[in-house]
Amino acid sequence: MLYLLVLLACVLVTLPLELVLGVRVYRRPLRLLLTLLPVFAVFVGWDALAIHAGQWSYHRLTGVRLGNVPVEELLFFLVIPTCAVLTLEAVRRTRPTWRIDDDGDEP
């Protein structure tokens, strides 16, 4: 349960970036989904291989798994990348002169 609470905290702590600072990450759901998909595939694959090889193991989780990957880890690879995107957009919002390749983007 602690793992899920930590993930929930990550979502809640970054929520003001969307709601107060107005970074428009959740409001661009297609772009967010297309970003999460390849990252999710790569890292869940890595996780599954590492678990299979016995490189790491999990304790005191809910026990719900997809294959050998705990549901907490599946959520981790959705929540943390989303937090990273929120962070980048917040940095850009507060430092508009710091250019990135997709400047002037909207959807």
Partner 1 sequence: MSYSTACVVGVVGALVLDLVVLRTRLVTRRAFWTSYAICLLFQLLVNGMLTGRRLVTYSPETIVGTRLVYAPVEDIAFGFSLVLQTLSWWVWWGRRARQARTRAGTATEARRAVPTRTR
Residues in the site for partner 1, rule: CB under 8 A?
2-3, 6, 10, 31-32, 34-36, 38-39, 42-43, 46, 50, 53-61, 77, 80-81, 83-85, 87-88, 91-92, 95, 98-102, 104-107
User: 67 or 97: whose CB is closer to partner 1?
Assistant: 97
Give the nearest distance from C-beta 17 to partner 1 in angstroms: 11
In the DSSP assignment, the letter for residue 55 is S
Least separation in angstroms between CB 74 and partner 1: 14
Phi and psi angles of residue 76, each rounded to the nearest 5 degrees, phi first: -55, -45
Q: SS3 of 59, please?
A: coil
Contact 4, 62 (CB under 8 A): yes
Q: Which is nearer to partner 1, 29 or 67 (CB)?
A: 29
For the CB of residue 78, give the shortest distance to partner 1 in the complex, in Å. 11
Cα dihedral across residues 94, 97, 101, 104: positive or negative: positive
Distance CA 52, CA 22 (A): 41
In this complex, which beta carbon is closest to partner 1, that of residue 54 or of residue 67?
A: 54
